[in-house]
Amino acid sequence: MKYKSQKVAYWFFALSMLLFSLQIIYGFIMGFAHAGFDGLHSFIPFNTARAVHTNLLVVWLLSGFMGAAYYIIPEEAQRELVSVKLAYVQLISLAVVGVVAIVGYHFNIWEGRKFLEIPRGLDYLVVVNVLLFLGLILATLFKGKRKTTTALVLSMGLLFAALLYLPGMLPFDSQVKDSFFRWWVVHLWVEGVWELIMGGILSFLLIKLTGVDREVIEKWLYVIVGLTFLSGVLGTGHHYYYIGVNKIWLIVGGIFSALEPLAFLAMALFAVNMYRKGEKKHPNNLALYWTLGAAIVSFIGAGLLGFAHTLPQTNLYTHGTLVTAMHGHLAFWGAYAMIVLAIISYSLPNMTGRKLYESTRGRMAFWMSNIGMIGMTVAFGVAGVVQVYLERKLKMEFMEVQKEIEIHFVVLIICATLFLTGIALYIIDFIKHGKPTDEALVATVD
């Protein structure tokens, strides 16, 4: 059964698609600058483009997660959202805070802390916004007719993400202390509680798409939660190697970084195993592509590539190079971007009543974006390995090395163009679905 208040999710998804588009544009500005074509430098310096690119990544994914929660929680709790009006207030305030922050970056109004550049005044508005969101979600869940493991894991991930934003707001005079607690936000989000959000969304989609019994699927969630907390929390240590903290983090970070791929491997096995067990032939193949793709690509990008360069013996050379960008791009794409696109692909036909399951455009969007991202990952990887050798082994100057690797960014731009084309097709498909209607939601039967 669907609920009318679920259509709130549509507008969060629309915001996330808009912000995603802007993030890609700023990525191109950075790519052209790296390739030696920095004609926009006087208007958008590289540091500004980078801050906008990375912060838009966080905001569009959070918008997608919030949309997913507004769609999933009413259905799992079997009741309407407690206040649709407040959900729209939260949406508008989130968009306003995002716009003010991005505009401010172009006038050097920021804190200068990677991923957390947002000015302190806006930090407090973010906290108020997220508290409103959590209040709506948790009130809906606990007033509902049922409390499923899927809903609880998703809600737990969202709650912990909010709590872990707070250490990043602590003021420190020491750069070491500031970096130490900044990673509580950045690492424990992307390699900790965001995995719980991903697991909750993945569980919901597999229940709907495969027809496998809920109890079987939700048992896997306990495994994923356990592995996430076992490896993710102490795995934060691999960010502490070179910031001035105790050497014990070389050992702790190294050991638990080696365990981090297990959580993503569990997700990949979980998804593929449920797909094979599934007897239900759901017509929405596009949603199934994105769901299985998220589980598999996240294991490669976040799990294997993360492990490949976070061990101390390797990270001694790769730290702060384009090897990190190689891991980061495929990890964020597989683990979080693809799962947001999966829940959008599943929910859009239900919210609008337009069953565009088998469009050629949708399949091309999936394959072109994934092939483009894999090409970008390879380009980053090759450029990173060359950078490591020239910079760390041959001791060449940083800017000299950047000149030497410009050609790799030409390849990257070509692959990014393929990726952009795929995302453009996805957004066209999004627009073609039209706006949500009460009639479509009420009439939907899974």
Bin 353: left if φ > 0, else alpha if -120 < ψ < 50, else beta. left
Closest CA to 230 of 200, 266, 259: 259
Residue 205 belongs to what H/E stretch?
helix 194-210
Q: What is the pLDDT of residue 443?
A: 64
% of the chain residues with pLDDT over 70? 99
State how far the alpha carbon of 411 is from the alpha carbons of 95, 381, 387, in Å.
34, 12, 16
Q: What is the pLDDT of residue 446?
A: 62
Dist CA 183 CA 48 (whole Å): 21
State how far the alpha carbon of 270 is from the alpha carbons of 286, 336, 400, 428, in Å.
19, 16, 46, 31
Extended strands (E) in 174-248: none
Task: Give me the mean pLDDT over the 334-339 stretch.
Answer: 97
300/278: higher pLDDT: 300
List, for residues 49-61, the tens digit of each pLDDT value: 999 999 999 999 9
Write the DSSP string, 54-121. HHHHHHHHHHHHHHHHHHHHHHHHTS--S-HHHHHHHHHHHHHHHHHHHHHHTTT-S---TT--S-HH
Residue 126 binned pLDDT confidence (cut-offs 50, 70, 90)? very high
Write the DSSP string, 360-424. HHHHHHHHHHHHHHHHHHHHHHHHHHHHIIIIIIS---HHHHHHHTHHHHHHHHHHHHHHHHHHH
CA 354 remoteness from chain centre: 27
247 contact partners, CB below 8 Å, separation of at least 6: none
Q: Of 58-72, 229-243, 252-266, give the range with the top mean pLDDT.
A: 58-72
Domain ranges (residues) in the chain: 1-147
